[in-house]
Structure 1
Amino acid sequence: MTMTVEETWVAPQAGGPLDATVTIPGSKSLSNRYLILASLGSRPVRLTGLLKSRDTDLMIQALEALGVDCRADLDSPTEVTVVPPSGGRFRGGARVDCGLAGTVMRFVPGLAMLADGPTHFYGDQQAYRRPMRPLLDGLTQLGARIEYLGQEGFLPFVLTPPTHLVGREVTIDSSASSQFISGLLLLAARTDGTMTIVHSGQHLPSLPHIAMTVEDLRQAGVQVQANPDRCRWSVEGRGTGGTQLPDQVQVEPDLSNAAPFLGAALIGGGQVSVPNWPDRTTQPGGLLPKYLEIMGAKVNRVRDVQGSATCRVTGGEAIHGLGDFDLSPAGEIVPSIAAILVFADGRSRLHGIGHLRGHETNRLKALVTEITRIGGQARELDDGLAIEPVPVQSMHGAVIETYADHRMATFAAMIGLKIPGIRVRNIGTTAKTMPDFPDMWKRMLAGEGQG
């Protein structure tokens, strides 16, 4: 479904208890990390189950601009073979469109440190408000020269790499995003000598995403010493030897993208199942089943004859508030959690998520604005969000803004399950991670399997 920004999408209501199985596309976080790691290697890597979305398309286009060959399988676009540039040297003189993708704007500048000339980075207008300075300060400590073409510390900019990349200790304040640490960790695999990254700030958000990067590096044969309690990470750089993922890598489903669908079982009643749920994962979305249980859902893990696990969530008689709750390990699923808590029978104080003010939009402000717009009660906290219980009959339909943020769009769809008259402006922004979201949502409500 293609809609213009001006058009609105009528969010369908749940006509009765749900009974659906929804297959979730590959993880955006893992897809883009694997694309980077494969590009840093010395031989081709075949990625299967790769997410096809705007963010991964932007990543592939960025890598190709830098001289990487990304060959999509004509019969299966979720299978891509990544061929690194010869000699491990990336092409200079490139223009990289970051769009609104945090993983592109914060991971690809590390690759540009290995190019044979300057790289120009730009993106969507809204991306020019997303902070970049901590990463660029770190790259400057490693010898980069940054020319800002607009506001200092933000896109657009031109990065000129050093003539030689030597490992050293780099200190940055990554309080605004864990992606700054991850971007430096990925680059560290290619330094000559050990590179140590130190976070100097008080709070470090989304530690599971850093753990994901560390595990992916180790999977690629890189030695990493992680000490998150002391906010220090050391990587044994391999120079031009770089990284080497296995010849074939399977991408897990995006567990954060499962949140709107599994959460729908609490709001609409009935059950929703997501197959291929990993037994062990570094994705923050892996915490979702535990959170849903606390809110009153029944969660089961069912195995098929091949041993693959399906996560099945059944809504309870009531949705419970979370009280004072630390959501810092899984900030990216906050909009979905907030949509569920709008219908809770108790108050919630979600803490540890102040960094969401620097995502695709200021998500805390956006959530408060849209919850208030429909007659709910919410307010910002210094480090999070407070949501008060309001009877469903006191809330009403409205046109919900998405702020070009895919998770605000799925938040709105969840609200529309229970409140009639919800219309969503720019539902197409979900193409960032789920290009087929509107149809997937309708098929879920129709009880159709999505294999």
Structure 2
Amino acid sequence: MGGMSETNDTLWAAPKANGPLHATVTIPGSKSLSNRYLILAALGSRPVTLVGLLRSRDTELMMGALAALGVACDVDPECDTTVTVTPPSDGRFHGNVDVYCGLAGTVMRFVPGLALFADDAVRFDGDEQAYARPMKPVLDGLEQLGATIEYHGREGYLPFTVTPPAARADGVGADVSVEDTEDGMGERTPAKVSIDSSGSSQFISGLLLIGSRLPGGLTVEHTGGKTPSLPHIRMTVADVNGAGGAASADETARVWTVRHRPLQLPERVVVEPDLSNAAPFLGAALIAGGTVRVPHWPIETTQPGGLLPGYLERMGAAVTFPEEDGVRYCQVTSDGVIHGLGDFDLTAAGEIAPSLAAVLVFADAPTRIIGIGHLRGHETNRLEALVTEIRRIGGDAEELEDGISITPVPRGSLHGAVMESYADHRMATFAAMIGLAVPGVNVVDVETTRKTLPDFVNMWRGLLGE
């Protein structure tokens, strides 16, 4: 099986800000929530309508994967962000099919769990860049639940085939048949899975999403060191419980438990804006000065991006949450003075590291961003990529064992360059942010932003009033 990349080498001239910004930017739905809701809707027994669903490459790949497994994802002809998900009528996913993951971590790490309940083997492949993204912990977990994993290249990476217990030739494996038994009747001992999820929180989330369907439920133990992005795991626990599940966590012991329960999301679910995708736009207010507002900011959220306003405030921005006509905004105002953060632990929200790094290039003091070593296993090795691109424009950065250090230089010392995106949406937006203050920045393949922001270029022009 061969992977194919959907990137290109076209250049985009990143526009420079000619003065302070005054903009309101509407952010599409959360990718993390959109793809979790799609999985949970597929695990239910009745149709679910998702409102405000992100329509981007990652969610298209997820809907394509679900369609291959026999799940219908019907787009409202009058509003393409409203999608109705209908699970297979018998609750059994289709096997002997191919699932294409692209470069989407949530697809390659969440969908294999659904293959545990398929009627035959499911083959997984993706973009060439996806072959470098680690997969083994979640696949080890599925093997512990009775599945067979066959690798078609390097062990622990795409491409691979998942054969569910029911389809194994030897008939051996855990009983993962679909049950409607209510809690307390026919109760069994939970299946136990032990994995090292140090490389990505998605390994744990991928197993927690399917735990409710196992006859005795599931206990997941993390055997490695620091757990990256606990907020994303907390999001998964909250979403499982919101679908009628019973998931709980002992984060001190690094153990998560999901009891056997039938899952069913409400008939209608509204998706929050993607708060991590707000980071380039709100961060732009610090780089260029001025005020940027993002509407529909939630009062409470499980998204790691919800930590962003506090981080920007620590850098010197004024952050408020005004309400107008019933809509709550996150409003960031800056005079362009940016404070360095010293030693700054970003374990809880590593996905916004590229956006924060872009702001900190222009800070008044150095910053060591730590707790983000797992970013080496994202769409690209983001730590290496950030250091390379900061140095490419004349900046000063170094890769650390668990993060990066950024030592600001005078803005006048920075210069334009062709900046690589590495087929990584967050590296493309990082380069766009640099271009706000550094003339002559050209970005390779800015269209990689369609992974989560399908209209990024027009949104960026709107930010600048173009």
Tell me whether the two structures share a fold, i.e. TM-score over 0.5.
yes
Partner residue in 1 for 2:171:
none
SS of the counterpart of 2:291?
Answer: strand
Conserved 8 A contact 2:7-2:448? no
Alignment of 1:134-149 (within 5 A): 134-149=137-152
One-letter identity of the residue aligned with 1:56: T
1:227 positional shift: 1.0
Please tell me whether residue 388 in structure 1 is matched to residue 407 in structure 2. yes
Partners of 1:257 and 1:297 in 2: CA distance: 18
Partners of 1:193 and 1:303 in 2: CA distance: 46
Conserved 8 A contact 2:288-2:336? no
Partners of 1:98 and 1:195 in 2: CA distance: 25
Partners of 1:216 and 1:226 in 2: CA distance: 13
Partner residue in 2 for 1:40:
43
Partner residue in 2 for 1:330:
349
Partner residue in 1 for 2:169:
none
Please tell me whether residue 178 in structure 1 is matched to residue 216 in structure 2. no
Q: Which runs of 5+ in 1 are unaligned?
A: none
SS of the counterpart of 1:81?
Answer: strand
Partners of 1:220 and 1:360 in 2: CA distance: 29
Partners of 2:130 and 2:248 in 1: CA distance: 32
Partners of 2:302 and 2:117 in 1: CA distance: 28
Partner residue in 1 for 2:186:
none
Please tell me whether residue 211 in structure 1 is matched to residue 219 in structure 2. no
Conserved 8 A contact 2:392-2:417? yes
Partner residue in 2 for 1:425:
444
Moved more, 4-13 or 114-123: 4-13
- Out of 405, 409, 429, the position equivalent to 2:428 is 409
Supply the RMSD in Å over aligned alpha carbons. 1.0
Partner residue in 1 for 2:172:
none
One-letter identity of the residue aligned with 1:443: G
Partners of 1:423 and 1:91 in 2: CA distance: 45
Please tell me whether residue 76 in structure 1 is matched to residue 79 in structure 2. yes
Partner residue in 1 for 2:103:
100
Alignment of 1:8-407 (within 5 A): 8-163=11-166, 164-165=175-176, 167-238=190-261, 241=262, 243-306=263-326, 308-407=327-426
Partners of 1:95 and 1:258 in 2: CA distance: 34
SS of the counterpart of 1:344?
Answer: coil
Partners of 2:355 and 2:336 in 1: CA distance: 19
1:4 positional shift: 6.9
Partners of 2:314 and 2:335 in 1: CA distance: 11
Q: TM-score, normalised by structure 1?
A: 0.97
Partners of 2:268 and 2:92 in 1: CA distance: 23
1:194 positional shift: 2.7
Partners of 2:114 and 2:361 in 1: CA distance: 42
Partners of 2:161 and 2:241 in 1: CA distance: 31
Partner residue in 1 for 2:180:
none
SS of the counterpart of 1:116?
Answer: coil
1:316 positional shift: 2.9
1:189 positional shift: 1.4
Q: TM-score, normalised by structure 2?
A: 0.94
Partners of 2:89 and 2:126 in 1: CA distance: 28
1:237 positional shift: 1.6
1:317 positional shift: 4.4
Q: Which runs of 5+ in 2 are unaligned?
A: 1-5, 167-174, 178-189
Conserved 8 A contact 2:41-2:85? yes
Q: Which runs of 4+ in 1 moved over 2 A?
A: none
1:426 positional shift: 0.3
One-letter identity of the residue aligned with 2:201: S
Partners of 2:301 and 2:121 in 1: CA distance: 37
Conserved 8 A contact 1:298-1:316? no
Partners of 1:299 and 1:273 in 2: CA distance: 10
One-letter identity of the residue aligned with 2:236: T
Conserved 8 A contact 1:323-1:346? yes
Partners of 2:414 and 2:444 in 1: CA distance: 19
Identity between Structure 1 and Structure 2 (%): 64
Conserved 8 A contact 2:201-2:229? yes
Partners of 2:280 and 2:222 in 1: CA distance: 32
Conserved 8 A contact 2:287-2:336? no
